Amino acid sequence: MFHQNILIVRESVSDNDKNLINLLLNIGYEQSQIVSVPAQKIPFVDCEVIFLLTEAMEQTAVFIPQINTDFPDVPLILIIGTTTAEQPFPVGTDDWLLESWLQPLLLKKTIQLAIERKQNTCNYLSIFRENPSPMYIYEKGTFQFLEANTAALRQYGYTREEFLELTAKDIRPVDELEAFYKINEELPAAYSNAGIWQHIRKNGEIFYVHIFTHQIRFAGKICKLVTAIDIDVTVKAENALKKKAKEIENILESITDGFFTVNRNWELTYINKAFEKIIQTSRIGIIGKNLWEYFPEARDLAYFQLYQKALSENVSVHFEEFYPPLNIWLSVNAYPTDSGLAVYFTDNTAQQNYQHKIEVQNKKFKEIAWVQAHQIRGPVSNLLGLVDLFNIEPDDPDNLELLARVKHTAIQMDESIKEIVHLTRKIES
């Protein structure tokens, strides 16, 4: 203090600054440190405090914003001729004094407090502006932007001047405005997680942000301090995964194989339509249930042992097993996953029945072959032997011809039986 200039801004040329200058000299300033200028022509001066002389607060509205812009880090103190108790404190000023209050001790103390207050404000403002998270402040009632930090300007693609010309409505898609109006009124004044929204950059690109808000008083107005974290990459990646998961689910719902998944606690986590049809149960009642508690009969069959093998040894298994409660055969393929097991199965009952039918037929063929080999070939062999034992008279041509025909017929029967036995064995193999 007292080592930099003091700038006195006179709202009108006629404003009397002599009393203030004398008091400043009284508390330790040098004449060379005091610069007094009219408000219409404010030069840049390296100073530690600015005084604005005015007759009434309402007359300062034109000059305060300009002084704040040109000297953002310098405290501004109003010296007012008259005021009332109901008059609001002018936004943009750090303190004020009535001319009638001016005396050295109070002036000195006011300057000290104004400098300290401004330094603290600048420190907080610096924290806000340099925060790596995009942050902005808008007036709750009008949605007008009042402040934005560097990260926010970079995120949305605007200069500071451009951004402060906008409202919070301008960075949102039209179809989200109604929801924004609603939540702007409903969110509590305390810190709030406002959820995920879509915002628009200057170049028209729409991206996702996670919004956190807190109601504050800024520049004398009720405002919303907002942190808008860009989560566009994360949300779009999640949406892509959800889309892919939906595609996979559609495939699983359309296949004719039954399909289900369990976690490592054997809790059912997914069931498709084919499962419901084959097992004759609704997925609604069993999702989240323990597989073995809901299907206790399967625990004593191959299902439990082989599912356990797939899960513990991280190998796939294939097997066929009968399920007594539904009187069906299932053909099962189980595959280990990071979270548990994925299981495909089909109703193999018809194939099993067909296989059983084939086995019954083969058994009958065996019986036929045995009858042919033992009950028919035996008599034929005997017939052939008896023919050979005949004492054929050379002079009896009719008997000779007859016996030849009998022998020929017996040989044909024997060859036919051999062919039947061969074909039967071929069917068996």
**What mean pLDDT is predicted for residues 297-304?**
93
Is the Cβ–Cβ distance between 223 and 140 less than 8 Å? yes
pLDDT value for 387: 62
Q: What is the pLDDT of residues 230-267, one digit of tens each?
A: 999 999 999 998 998 888 888 889 899 999 999 999 99
φ and ψ at 3, to 5 degrees?
Answer: -115, 0
Q: Which stretch of DSSP H or E encloses residue 334?
A: strand 328-336
Residue 35 CB neighbours (<10 A)? 16
Q: Which of 129, 149, 176 lies at the terminal end of a domain, its last residue?
A: 129
- Indicate whether 246 belongs to any domain: no
pLDDT value for 226: 96
Q: Are residues 382 and 327 in the same domain?
A: no
- Indicate whether 243 belongs to any domain: no
**What mean pLDDT is predicted for residues 85-110?**
84
| Strands 340-347, 317-323: pairing kind | unpaired
User: Could you give the C-alpha distances from 53 to 26, 48, 101, 211, 232, in angstroms and in order?
Assistant: 19, 17, 14, 43, 51
- Indicate whether 57 belongs to any domain: yes
What is the number of alpha carbons within 13 Å of residue 146 lying toward its C-beta? 23
Distance CA 396, CA 285 (A): 94
- Indicate whether 247 belongs to any domain: no
In this structure, what CATH number is given to the domain that contains residue 230? 3.30.450.20
Q: Which of 297, 329, 347 lies at the terminal end of a domain, its last residue?
A: 347
- Indicate whether 242 belongs to any domain: no
In this structure, what CATH number is given to the domain that contains residue 43? 3.40.50.2300
Q: What is the pLDDT of residues 323-374, one digit of tens each?
A: 999 999 999 999 999 999 999 999 988 777 767 676 666 676 676 666 666 6
Q: Are residues 358 and 343 in the same domain?
A: no
Q: Are residues 222 and 264 in the same domain?
A: no
Q: Are residues 12 and 87 in the same domain?
A: yes
Q: Which stretch of DSSP H or E encloses residue 352?
A: helix 349-371
Is the Cβ–Cβ distance between 168 and 180 less than 8 Å? yes
pLDDT value for 392: 55
Distance CA 316, CA 313 (A): 9
- DSSP string for 163-174: HTTSBTTTTS-G
Torsion of CA 173, 179, 182, 187, to 10 degrees: -90
Lookup result for tokens 């932007």: 145
pLDDT band at 83 (very low <50, low <70, confident <90, very high): confident
- Indicate whether 373 belongs to any domain: yes
Q: Are residues 324 and 398 in the same domain?
A: no
pLDDT value for 364: 67
pLDDT band at 117 (very low <50, low <70, confident <90, very high): confident
Angle at 76 between CA 73 and CA 79, to 5 degrees: 170
Q: Are residues 95 and 11 in the same domain?
A: yes
Q: Are residues 275 and 205 in the same domain?
A: no
User: Could you give the C-alpha distances from 326 to 38, 193, 322, 356, in angstroms and in order?
Assistant: 99, 52, 9, 18
Is the Cβ–Cβ distance between 309 and 320 less than 8 Å? no
pLDDT beyond 60 at 2: no
pLDDT band at 70 (very low <50, low <70, confident <90, very high): confident
**What mean pLDDT is predicted for residues 382-407?**
63
Q: Which of 87, 113, 129 lies at the terminal end of a domain, its last residue?
A: 129
Token duo for residue 117:
């207050």
Q: Are residues 407 and 364 in the same domain?
A: yes
Token duo for residue 260:
């289900």
Q: Are residues 366 and 269 in the same domain?
A: no
- Indicate whether 19 belongs to any domain: yes
Share of the chain above pLDDT 90, in %: 52
pLDDT beyond 80 at 389: no
Q: Give me the number of domains the chain comprises.
A: 4
| Strands 34-38, 5-10: pairing kind | parallel
Q: Higher pLDDT residue, 220 or 105? A: 105
pLDDT beyond 70 at 136: yes
Q: Please, what is the average pLDDT of the chain?
A: 86
Q: Are residues 261 and 285 in the same domain?
A: yes
pLDDT value for 147: 92
Q: What is the pLDDT of residues 397-419, one digit of tens each?
A: 666 666 677 777 777 777 777 77
Is the Cβ–Cβ distance between 387 and 407 less than 8 Å? yes
- Indicate whether 320 belongs to any domain: yes
pLDDT band at 93 (very low <50, low <70, confident <90, very high): confident
pLDDT beyond 60 at 138: yes
Q: Are residues 178 and 202 in the same domain?
A: yes
Burial class (CB in 10 A: 0-12, 13-18, 19+), 39: buried
| Strands 268-271, 221-230: pairing kind | unpaired
pLDDT value for 1: 53
Lookup result for tokens 């407090």: 113
Is the Cβ–Cβ distance between 27 and 108 less than 8 Å? yes
Query: Which amino acid appears at position 298 of this protein?
Result: A
Q: Are residues 66 and 21 in the same domain?
A: yes
pLDDT value for 372: 60
pLDDT value for 92: 79
Is the Cβ–Cβ distance between 219 and 91 less than 8 Å? yes
φ and ψ at 292, to 5 degrees?
Answer: -80, -25
Share of the chain above pLDDT 70, in %: 83
Domain that holds residue 375: 353-428
Beta strands in 11-57 (DSSP E): 34-38, 47-54
φ and ψ at 204, to 5 degrees?
Answer: 90, -5
